[in-house]
Amino acid sequence: MKKRIAILGSTGSIGKQALEIVRAHPDQLEVEVLTANSNADLLVRQAAEFRPNAVVIADDTCYHQVQQALQGLDIKVFSGRQSLLDIVEMSTIDMVLVALVGFAGLEPTYRAIAARKAVALANKETLVAGGALIMPMVRRANLAFLPVDSEHSAIFQCLAGECAAVEKILLTASGGPFFGCKRADLENVKAEQALKHPNWNMGNKVTIDSATMMNKGLEMIEAHWLFNVAPQQIEIVVQPQSIVHSMVEFADGSVKAQMSLPDMRIPIQYAFSFPYRWNTTYPKLSFSRCATLDFYEPDRQTFECIGLAYKAIERGGNIPCAMNAANESAVSAFLHDKITFLQIAEVVAYVMDKINYAEEASLDNFSHTDALSRLMAKGYIELLERK
């Protein structure tokens, strides 16, 4: 039986790679739903090739373009945020890949779990903002909830077959384009420099998060929720070659690592194929060609976002959600040349400091916190712009 998948965010970096996997495994996978925010052209091309049951374009103004282009192809076309939420409940979907970027991923993930769908989660912001809501639902429903982020897929693979308690998670980081830089080196860096990641080709938001190392902070929180491990047991290690995707240390001192070339198609495919592994034709790791594997401690003075993320998860409640929203606003402001690179962490720290703590793990609380934090960040960014 083919697995029928819905790809939320099919026009993004993860979404496009997921479709490559579908293309390579037509006997195992079938596309049931594709969604995009506003990239109507690409959504139409994807739909024409993969012939899903339905597509959703979140931006209502693109509806007619998509609908007209797909006329006669027997593909249902919907638009708007509500359709994105409703579509995951479609009875013919077996698995939902959440490849949206940002807080926008939380509610569709919530709805997919509530509809008892298996979920492959690329969108790390979902668990950063709403882990306290999502993970109890997943455990109660006993659903497949598979990590796609390469580090979390690595940890998941290291844990397969283990019943021993985890001593420590070693969460690896590439270090990003500014590995080895000090604060003084980063004062005037521009978006185009921050967008040049040495090992991965990803969407803009996650690439800037890698440059500030907020990405590792977000992933630490994601790992905390996924694997039920305390933040103090998660150690960030810089592994500049991006070959070791993360490691797990057990009580007897044994450490298991998952390694491969840096290629997101591997963890995406594993989420689709689990508990099996399918063949690939992609280049494979050659130990004779990659002779060195280096490991370093991260520089927390320069990359302040790491410390902010540990602080956020220690405070708990809505604080990680506020941190995430402030970060999304700050990254967008940096990409639009409104604030400097180092001010990203400053905006995040400001919002975390000013937001009122709220404990409740509910969609309402997290949506309210997200909206309020963005407003607070916007105000502070305007202040920084005037300076």
Applying CB under 6 A, which residues contact ligand NAP? 9-15, 36-39, 58, 84, 99-101, 104, 122-125, 149, 200, 202-203, 205-206, 264
Place of tokens 């998941």: 156
Closest to ligand NAP by CB, 128 or 358: 128
Query: C-beta of 238: minimal distance to ligand NAP in Å?
Result: 17
Contact 242, 170 (CB under 8 A): no
Closest to ligand NAP by CB, 239 or 358: 239
Give whole-number Cα distances, 38 to 99, 221, 267, in Å.
15, 29, 26
HEC assignment per residue over 28-74:
CEEEEEEEECCCHHHHHHHHHHHCCCEEEECCHHHHHHHHHHCCCCC
Closest to ligand NAP by CB, 179 or 358: 179
What is the token pair recorded at 142? 């006993």
What is the token pair recorded at 161? 């077959």
Closest to ligand NAP by CB, 208 or 358: 208
Query: C-beta of 254: minimal distance to ligand NAP in Å?
Result: 27
Closest to ligand NAP by CB, 87 or 361: 87
Closest to ligand NAP by CB, 334 or 358: 334
Distance (Å, whole) CA 139 – CA 113 = 10
Dihedral of CA 198/202/204/207: which sign?
Answer: negative
Closest to ligand NAP by CB, 83 or 369: 83
Query: C-beta of 168: minimal distance to ligand NAP in Å?
Result: 22
**Residues 272-311 as b or e (16 or more Cβ within 10 Å = b):** bbbeeeeeeeeeeeeeeeeeeeeeeebbeebbbbbbbbbb
| Residue number with the smallest Cβ distance to ligand NAP | 12
Query: C-beta of 98: minimal distance to ligand NAP in Å?
Result: 8
Distance (Å, whole) CA 363 – CA 250 = 35
Query: C-beta of 149: minimal distance to ligand NAP in Å?
Result: 4
Query: C-beta of 356: minimal distance to ligand NAP in Å?
Result: 26
Nearest residue to 46 via CA among 32, 60, 59: 32
Query: C-beta of 330: minimal distance to ligand NAP in Å?
Result: 15
Amino acid, res. 109: T
